[in-house]
Amino acid sequence: MEIKKHRRLTIKERVIIETLLNENKSKSYISKKLNRSRSTISREVNRWVSEPGEIYDAYLANWWAKEVYLGKRNFDKISRNSKLRYYVYKGLLSHWTPEQISGRIKKQYPNDGMMTISYEAIYRHIYTRPQASLNKKLIQLLTRKKSRRRPNVNRRKKGSKIRNQVSIDNRPAHIEFRYEIGHWEGDLVIGKGNKSMIGTLVERKSRFVIIIKLQSKKADEVSKMFSKKLNELHPLFKKSMTYDNGTEMAKHEYITKKTGMDIYFAHPYSSWERGTNENTNGLIRRFHPKGTNFNDISERQLQIIQDKLNSRPRKILGYNTPKEIMDLELKNVA
């Protein structure tokens, strides 16, 4: 028996179900008559007729099914769950990416199924009605602020081109808890037309940032300049760095050799694993938004931004500044 491909019953089929039920026909008979699976008919009938004396009404059943279907289409998980919606919107207002929000909420609510959401579901919620006033505001909170999403391409199938990587899975567990000073996260901030860039290094415990002017994103340039800046620090502050899978870090072994620091690599497309760095890059973008040509920005200008960020009181630091935390750590070992 060939089963119909469409899943939802039509009003015509429901009228036939009602008629045959009134004739005391079995569910198996009805399923064969409609060329439907028996489970489909059983679910439909049992939803309305579970006790003696109850009746099946085709038009009422069809109206209810349509309402449920439209509800599922028009109201996603974020729209239906106010607590989840508040978390997602608050994360966007804090300049978190959907990936960061998705990753962070799993850590904060590991056993709450209602408080889990994929980053793709967050993007779908934002772009459901891109011309609506609320959605326009949500789009403006995204890093790239695109009015439309580009189609998803299968980039993830590509393997890493970086040799001898050490995964973040092998990073000592205590680094995650920020108990110890000297563990950094690194990244690049790309300028207009992908023709200019700066490097950013953020210390995980203190949130101290180093902004590095780069001539290119080639691995030789990045490894040389990162090593130079890191070696200006006291040895106390040089323990490890966590980076993404960008090929600019192909010479990571050179950095380890020059600085003595271990380099760990986050999982592909898992920016929340370097959330401190991603957040800091967002702060830098407030001074130099997307479209900036960093070739026109001097080292002095970058130093001014670095000093402002490092002298900025942070709630997470008890309203101390990153520089004060670094100075305190250095004082404690003196």
DSSP-derived letter for residue 114 is G
In a domain, 294, yes or no: yes
pLDDT tens by residue, the chain, 334 residues: 444 455 789 999 999 999 999 998 999 999 999 999 999 999 899 888 877 777 888 888 887 777 666 655 556 788 778 899 889 888 888 888 898 899 899 888 988 888 989 888 898 888 877 667 777 888 888 877 777 766 554 444 455 578 999 999 999 989 999 999 999 999 999 998 888 999 999 999 999 999 999 999 999 999 999 999 999 999 999 999 999 989 999 999 999 999 999 999 998 888 889 999 999 999 999 999 888 999 999 999 999 999 999 999 998 899 999 999 999 999 988 6
Shared domain check, 201 and 318:
yes
Count of structural domains, the chain: 3
Domain termination site, one of 21, 56, 74: 74
Which amino acid appears at position 106 of this protein? K
Q: What is the pLDDT of residue 128?
A: 79
Residue 131 pLDDT: 67
Domain span at residue 25 reads: 11-74
Q: What is the pLDDT of residue 4?
A: 46
Same domain, 131 and 240: no
* 248 and 186 together in one domain: yes
Query: Which helix (DSSP H) or strand (DSSP E) does residue 104 occupy?
Result: helix 98-108
24 in the Ramachandran plot: left (φ > 0), alpha (ψ -120 to 50) or beta?
left
pLDDT of residue 157: 46
Does residue 217 sit in the same domain as residue 305? yes
Gap between the Cα atoms of 157 and 89, Å rounded = 31
Q: Which of 147, 179, 197 represents a domain boundary (last residue)? A: 147
Q: Which residues pair with 240 in a beta bridge?
A: 183, 262
154: in domain: no
Question: Which pLDDT belongs to residue 155?
Answer: 47
Asked if residue 141 is part of any domain, the answer here is yes
Question: How far does CA 80 lie from the centroid of its chain?
Answer: 20
162 within domain boundaries: no
